[in-house]
Chain A
């Protein structure tokens, strides 16, 4: 702004036009991209309101002739979704809370402490992400059987309360908080734990919220693990319900789309609630001085 005041009239005009064009391009790119992103999604929603024969193939038909709201009712009744929702909520919420605590602790150690075996341990942690879950499924199932955890919330919660992904992400954020600050605080007699609670966590709010959101979604959508570790319908979660609409001879598209839509609604609400948090995290400006 300071610059424009000094410019002669005609250059000022040019500057404004250029700025306008830039703005236009920015919006065009972002909105165009967003449209591409939501196209499959829009089709999913409109299909959830179609009669089965309207999930038309030959002609692109975006809207149903008459919206079949009853699809949602039928889909909801096809499986015990109320119970599934309750379970999904409970599990995802508990996992999210415990996980963010455990991950912050571990990430703090990796980011700010200097200890024996640090790098080896970190690589070891990362290494667990590189093994496909397919080969760990059976050993883990046997562990659960031995613990007597089959068909309990323990099996669905405890193994997921630590994720290397979150530890790693938080470590990256903790590391970028100036080290002098840490040293100064410790010298002033601030305990390490107090520093984590009072300084690190508030400063890393965007990262914490991101980690929590991802964990919630991951838990919400987890399918095979839940199926393998449970046997009773009362322990199962939403993704198990979604398989009801798929069989080897055909798929009930409209119901599947309806169920998928209501299955994701809570996550969208969570996203909308949280998004202010991960964008307007504490501005780091003040710290620099």
Chain B
């Protein structure tokens, strides 16, 4: 008798426990945000878990982006992918091509107003098939860092920029060079864009092997040759802090590193990139994607979380804590964020509203990792003294091959 009672009691207990557990939808969020960035992510997730009791989000740090990628790739094969994760656009494109992800927009019930609140550039970066497949999360843009001691007024145009670079180098007898150059893809992209060019046109035809591409490379090389720029290896902020260079182009998310390297030795600030034929503001960073393997229930829950995570209040919280950008216009315009910018004038260029209008980004195609390797090598070749025309032509050929491979879907 007693034992039956006990069994019954246990059963009842189990049922009530499991039903309450069932009511809660558990979702996982894989990210690559360490240290302070991780704390901010962790904080927001905790907060979400506290304010409602239907969804439990587990935010899991999975190492740096390359580690996160390895982990995601392994999880696809084993069928253990998370509900949502941070992804770059080129990962998204590959996932999209093979149906690994589901469109977040489909589950988010965005009103037109909410949809339009996401900053336009970011919407472009996250749209596939006319839908927001992914939602912008930690976005940054590239700005011009300059030493205020040597450069009171930042250059507005490319011409001014070359002029000032030269002057600084001359003024300091080469002790401090005007600008820091690395043969990176990002820097080449900037010069290419400002001169009116880009890597591809809308149909994925290569367009960097062009007069614009040639001018871009010539300008970069020219700055090294006439001594107005210094060839830097490693992060530029170190050289900047050591007064070896007076300007560099870098990520807005790196302001803290610049602050650390400068260490109060001089005043510095940020400005939009100087305009060439056209102005330009490169945008980078990752977005949140949702994986198709999740159940409908989980997908709905994840969409709810993502929507909450990017609402004005939270995107501003994250932006202030980390140095990334708010991803919505309402966040950008919020009093809190504007106060923050006012209190930190050297960060003003980061959230320069105008910049969002002429924003550009790296091609969001699956083969981009391969293409960026090829273009990076092409730029390096030019820096090592190879002929610009030949290098550009070779780069074009290799990139076209990579694109073709991608489109054929075999290999």
Contacts and interface: CB of A to CB of B under 8 A. Distances in A.
Direct contact between A and B judged by beta carbons closer than 8 A: yes
Interface of A: 51-58, 78-79, 137-138, 141-142, 145, 150, 224, 227-228, 231-233, 240, 243-252
Interface string B145-172: 0000000000000000000000000000
A154 to B, nearest CB: 16
Nearest to A58: B242
Interface in B73-98: 73-75, 77-80
15 contacts: A52-B261, A53-B260, A55-B261, A79-B35, A138-B74, A138-B78, A141-B74, A141-B77, A142-B77, A145-B80, A240-B61, A243-B63, A244-B35, A247-B253, A248-B65
Contacts of B262: 53
Contact of A138 (B61, B77, B140): B77
A252 B254 contact: no
Q: Report which residue of A150, A228, A240, A249 has the largest number of chain B beta carbons within 10 angstroms of its beta carbon.
A: A249
A233 B241 CA distance: 35
Contact of B67 (A79, A227, A231): A227
Contacts of B64: 243, 246-248
Given A53-B265, A58-B244, A228-B71, A250 B35 contact: no
Contact of B34 (A138, A141, A227, A245): A245
B257 interface: yes
A246 to B, nearest CB: 6
A244 B63 CA distance: 8
B57 interface: no
Given A249-B251, A250-B237, A244 B38 contact: yes
Contacts of B174: none
Contacts of B238: 55, 57
B74 A57 contact: no
Interface of B: 28, 34-35, 37-38, 60-65, 67, 70-71, 73-75, 77-80, 140, 235, 237-239, 241-244, 250-251, 253-254, 256-257, 260-265
A54 B261 CA distance: 8
B-side binding surface: helix, strand, loop or mixed?
Answer: helix
Contacts of A150: 80
B334 to A, nearest CB: 24
Given A53-B241, A53-B262, A250 B257 contact: yes
A85 B169 CA distance: 50
B34 A244 contact: yes
Given A55-B261, A57-B244, 11 more contacts: A53-B261, A57-B239, A141-B77, A227-B62, A227-B67, A231-B60, A247-B37, A248-B65, A249-B251, A250-B256, A252-B260
Contact of B70 (A52, A224, A247, A250): A224
Nearest to A230: B60
A249 B253 contact: yes
Nearest to A231: B60
Contacts of A248: 64-65
